[in-house]
Amino acid sequence: MGVLPCQIQALPLRAPGNSWHISAEKATYDPSRNLYTAQGEVVLTGETARITADHILYNNLTKDARATGHVTLMSGKDTIHCDAMHLNLETETGTIMNGIIFVEENNFYISGDHIKKTGKNTYSADKASLTSCAGENPDWKITGRDIHVTIEGYGMVKHATLWAGNLPALYTPFMAFPVKNKRQTGLLSPNITHSDRKGIEYEQPLFLALNRSSDATFYVDYMSDRGIKLGAEYRYMQDNNNKGTLFFDYLKDDKIDDGTDATSHYAYDSTPQRTNRNRYWFRMKNDREIFPHWQARLDVDYVSDGDYLHEFKKGYTGLTATDKAFESTFGRDLDDYDDTTRKNQLNIKRAWDRYNLNMDVLWYDNVTARRQNTDDTTLQSLPSITFRGMRQKLGQSPFYFDLNSSYTSFFRQDTTNTLITGQRMDLYPRIYYPFHINGFRLTPSLGGRHTAWYTHDAADINETRNGYSHRELFDINLDLSTVFTRIFSIDNAANQKIRHQITPALAYSFIPHVDQTDIPQFDDIDLIDKENTLTWQLTQRLTSKRQINPSDSNTPAFAYRELAWLKMSQTYYLSGRDEDTQKNFSNILLDLELSPMPHVYLNSDMEWSPYGTGIFSHNSAITVKDDKQNRIRLQYRYSREDPDENEEETESIYTGVNVGLTPRLRGFLEYEKNLYEDETIETTTGIELDRDCWSMKLSYTKTSDDSAMGFLINLKGLGEFGNP
């Protein structure tokens, strides 16, 4: 018997008024039993259901129907195919003999010799098989006993055996699987992997649909070498302005770093010795509209030790997955895994048409200082208030103005003679007068700045306490720019044109010298150097325009694509940049984005010294991809802190390849190496096999600290197993 596309869902199998219609080659009616007998291409039809068979007995009083011979039950797009069926059309219960049920939304088949329909959307069978593969010889199937299936719910199987073709591959005494697309409580697919640091790892999530606007997921992560890590995730979303997500993980680690060679495998060279067994990570992001037009945002990131995020970058609750979830939902990400100073922030903001107000409480948790119980001089902002006015016209005059102002209270848990605490107020308005001269736009502007400080609780740089200081300065800017454009017509059927736009600009900036030796130093606002500079900038763009409908169309439609974008700039210090060497020119900055063909992309930025010391920094990447998801990416990074002395030099390359080896098989490779230290950062290689009803991914990842084997198999319609 072949497999037909069929499905059962909780749909009514009776027409209004209990009216059903029968057509057949031959039909009889027994009024004493209210029984219809039909044979030969029989069709029993209601409003939303249709039964076809070679022979049907239908009792119009009890609504029982017995169908035999090539039986097909269709309800909308949903169908059951079987040899025989006894079904009560009122209760939608009955028996299906030698039948196949196809759950269309999951692309899932359930077949058995004797299947009971126990409700509108529930089935059970003593023995049956499950698969999402079409045909009599599926690539995979699961056989089992005492099977119960609830459409838009879950299936349960006892003594389940997974078959790869005709070979048994896996046995489990019990298995649950989803038969749904709607958001419902239940088990999610597990992650399974193996690594040197953790051993065999099995991570099982349980999803809870709490209500329409919130849900939760609990995780059990078993690691044979480390113990059991428990995790919880809670999410809610009332609307785009009121939403939140929080995660918490806890592990009582079986391994510590005791400083000996025996435990060195559980240490990291870049972090201090880890002796704690109780390990955890709490992180959350929350957006809340506290009043009309007032928005609050809360970010929390608190980790037990500096090694934690090195070890748990992957997995359901790892840094990579958490960061992706936060970025997708809130547009805000987490600090890098190797950053041991973690950002925590409460922001309250109010925006008007031309002004905005931000109030921040900003706390950087120094994980290393906290764990090592050493002095923590990390600078905190408790709080910081900024009020900004966008550039806008000043009344009816030709002048424009903007405003930047702020108040910040700086705090440190521990202070020194120079690393102190205190408050600062900064007021910075600016006036603009833009006008045009012969195609050039000229914008002179004048800014005035008043900054005041009050320091306490520690000696300032002049060995005084509770000091008040202030600074006043002004600055002058002059911006000049114009635009040159030329359009080139290309003689082809697509009526293509290319626009070349050149935007040269020149900017002058002047800040006088002001004595700042008696003021504290918290951040860049506190020390503003004198400036007398001239900066040139050249921007070029190539944009193509192509007609995408017939050239004789009355309403032509066009597609635009940016072929190239190039920006170059350099600053000349009129008063001298370096009093010792008299190097008045800055490095030349270059940014390039190039896409000569739709599937080729080049990005590059470079900083080059004009004094013969070469390239200061260089980052370039080229990506080639096609519509079949084949992709090759090459990236090169180079930087040095001092272009004259080769200090703090870094150099690395990255290669990423994902190509189709056959129509079904793909290979992938990621390789990153630190060229400066001649060390491989990370290598990942593997293959992906994609079949109609299943797919498989094998990968191997090696870093300087760990190596891991990943295995992921997706039985389509049933779920994923393993770890990508």
709 forms bridges with which residues in the sheet? 194, 700
Q: How far apart are CA 713 and CA 611, in angstroms?
A: 57
* Residue 398 φ/ψ region, left for φ over 0, alpha for ψ in the -120 to 50 degree band, beta for the rest: alpha
> How does DSSP assign 648-691, residue by residue?
S-EEEEEEEEEEESSSSEEEEEEEEEETTTTEEEEEEEEEEEE-
- Those residues with Cβ within 8 angstroms of residue 223's Cβ, 6 or more apart along the chain or in another chain: 198, 199, 200, 201, 229
Coil, strand, or helix at residue 297? strand
Q: What pLDDT does residue 377 have?
A: 94
Torsion angle, alpha carbons of 466, 467, 472, 473, to 10: -100
Q: CA 551: distance to chain centroid?
A: 42
The token pair that represents 559 in the structure block: 């597609």
Coil, strand, or helix at residue 497? strand
Q: How far apart are CA 404 and CA 382, in angstroms?
A: 19
Q: How far apart are CA 550 and CA 556, in angstroms?
A: 7
Q: What pLDDT does residue 579 have?
A: 56
Q: How far apart are CA 669 and CA 633, in angstroms?
A: 10
Type of residue at 578: D
Q: What pLDDT does residue 671 have?
A: 94
Mean pLDDT by 10 residues, the chain (724 residues): 31 47 89 90 82 92 91 77 90 90 78 88 88 86 88 81 84 75 70 86 88 92 94 93 96 90 83 92 96 95 95 90 94 93 96 95 95 93 96 94 96 88 96 93 96 74 66 96 91 75 96 89 90 96 85 78 94 74 84 91 93 86 90 92 62 93 91 89 90 86 82 74 58
Name the DSSP class of 271: S
Sign of CA dihedral 57, 60, 61, 67: positive
Task: Give per-residue burial for 395-406: e unless 16+ CB within 10 Å, then b.
Answer: eeeeebbbbbeb
SS (H, E, C) 100-143: EEEEHHHCEEEEEEEEEECCCCEEEEEEEEEECCCCCCCCEEEE
Q: How far apart are CA 380 and CA 364, in angstroms?
A: 6
Q: How far apart are CA 257 and CA 268, in angstroms?
A: 9
- Confirm whether pTM is higher than 0.85: no
Q: What pLDDT does residue 576 have?
A: 64
Q: What pLDDT does residue 709 have?
A: 82
For the chain, helix (H) and strand (E) counts, in that order, are: 3, 42
For 348, 357, 383, 390, the CA distances from 294, given in Å and listed in that order, are 7, 10, 17, 18
Whether residue 383 is preceded by a cis peptide bond, meaning omega within 30 degrees of 0, is yes
532, 575 Cβ separation under 8 angstroms: yes
Furthest-apart CA atoms within the chain: distance in Å: 117
Q: What pLDDT does residue 637 have?
A: 93
